[in-house]
Amino acid sequence: MSQLPTAPPSGFRDFLPASCAMRARAAEAIAQVYRRFGFQQIATSAVEDLPVLLGKGGGENEKLIFKLMKRGAQLEEAKTSGGELADLGLRFDLTLPLARYYCRHGSTLPHPFKAFQMGAVWRAERAQKGRYREFHQCDADIIGSDSPLCEAEIISALLTAFEAAGLREAPQAVVNDRELLQAVLSEAGLPAEKTAAACVALDKLDKTGVEAVRGELEALSGSEVARRLEELLLSKPGDLERLSRFQPQAAARVREILSLVNGLRADSAVFSATLIRGFDYYTGPVFEFRSPRLSGSLGGGGRYDRLTEKFGGQPIPACGASIGFERLLLLLEQEGLETAPGPDAVVTVFSEQLRAASLKAAAALRHAGYAIDLYPGAGKLKKQFQYADAKKAAYAVVIGPDELAAGQATVKDLATGKERSVALDSLAEAVKKG
């Protein structure tokens, strides 16, 4: 019989304790920041009806949906008729589910509504370092306001969250506006039907460089349009004032967002005319977070004022952003933060006859607020001390027959090897003082 594989499927991962500890610390730090900014946590379903995920806003990600097949008689009927075999799909981001959620529950929520959610999403794309088929996002959104304060608040929240998660070098927010970009493309003479393809080419600027992008634009639209696009977009992508005449309102929005964010954190946000963002549902300002130590973005978002129309509702102004959690973790690993905190102490089990005494001591220490690992079994103390070292515990607690008879326990400092006897009713204080 062939042996089953022990590795997870391509694009999926297992996590060792140290990685899980780092992920949990980072996630909680981000959640605490979102709460401090007034965002309320929600949760949406990992599985959506397929029509929710298709046909509006997902862009290229709609081609990467993990679809779930129909079940039972419905599946057999679909096979016979040649119809669609799937009726559900795994979410590829958290924004589309949020729009559905708000259309269903909006009447019971505050208005405007500041929400955050954290969870796994799935995309059936080619796996590579920093890009996986299953990954986590940490989203913050404001629904119900068209004020540029929303963009400024969200950008500030994410910059604060990166810092709280442990990044020593803060990323920079790069801001653009879809309407401004569209106006520039039109001014250059690009036909409307070629806008999407031109945006795909422009989106590669940071990866392939000006020469390669110019070549793609020339092949797409001819040399004159490509020359004009290079003049307007590629030569000085950070010059907002030069482009503002093409869409003054959009330029004013960008200018105000930059002013608000940089008023809190100097030079933390800049303009780039070539920033695209891949989702079709963005309607105005868009932004990304970039670190010089990472290819690609650490997260991003923008305004999506018409997404609720997909669910038959009125267009509701909305703005949101997502932290690319896996890429953030890559940087944290590079900074040496991948260490699992050990328990405060391991309580050993001297013998099967003394299990109850060890269990009672562990319970008392846990009640006092300590993280306590009770050795699962019994055996030689040397082996149990090795277990405590492997768990990176600060102390080992021993309650043998002599200690129990005297109402005491031996506390061993695993860093120094020093031992001392303490009264059982003072054990919590002894562990605290070390």
Sequence ranges of the domains in the chain = 17-334, 345-433
Q: What is the CATH number of domain 17-334?
A: 3.30.930.10
**Predicted local confidence at residue 421, as pLDDT:** 93
**Predicted local confidence at residue 213, as pLDDT:** 82
Q: What residues does 174 pair with on adjacent strands?
A: 270, 288
**Predicted local confidence at residue 58, as pLDDT:** 47
Closest to 43 (Cα-Cα) out of 143, 134, 100, 116? 116
**Predicted local confidence at residue 14, as pLDDT:** 93
- What string of H, E and C letters represents the secondary structure of the chain? CCCCCCCCCCCCCCCCHHHHHHHHHHHHHHHHHHHHCCCEECCCCCEEEHHHHCCCCCHHHHHHCCEEECCHHHHHHHHHHCCCCEEEEECCCCHHHHHHHHHHHHHHCCCCEEEEEEEEEECCCCCECCECCEEEEEEEEEECCCCHHHHHHHHHHHHHHHHHHCCCCCCEEEEEEHHHHHHHHHHCCCCHHHHHHHHHHHCCHHHHCHHHHHHHHHHHHCHHHHHHHHHHHHCCCCCHHHHHHHCHHHHHHHHHHHHHHHHHCCCCEEECCCCCCCCCCCCCEEEEEECCCCCCEEEEEEECCCHHHHHCCCCCCEEEEEEEHHHHHHHHHHCCCCCCCCCCEEECCCCHHHHHHHHHHHHHHHHCCCCEEECCCCCCHHHHHHHHHHCCCCEEEECCHHHHHCCEEEEEECCCCCEEEEEHHHHHHHHHHC
**Predicted local confidence at residue 217, as pLDDT:** 84
Please calculate the CA angle 237-284-124 and round it to the nearest 5 degrees.
90
Distance CA 141, CA 326 (A): 20
Distance CA 270, CA 259 (A): 10
| Binned average pLDDT, 10 residues per bin, the chain of 434 residues | 86 90 94 97 96 70 85 88 90 94 94 97 82 93 96 97 92 94 89 82 76 82 84 82 93 96 94 83 93 87 91 90 93 75 91 93 93 91 93 93 93 92 90 68
Q: What is the pTM of this model?
A: 0.87
Superfamily name with CATH number, domain 345-433: Anticodon-binding domain (3.40.50.800)
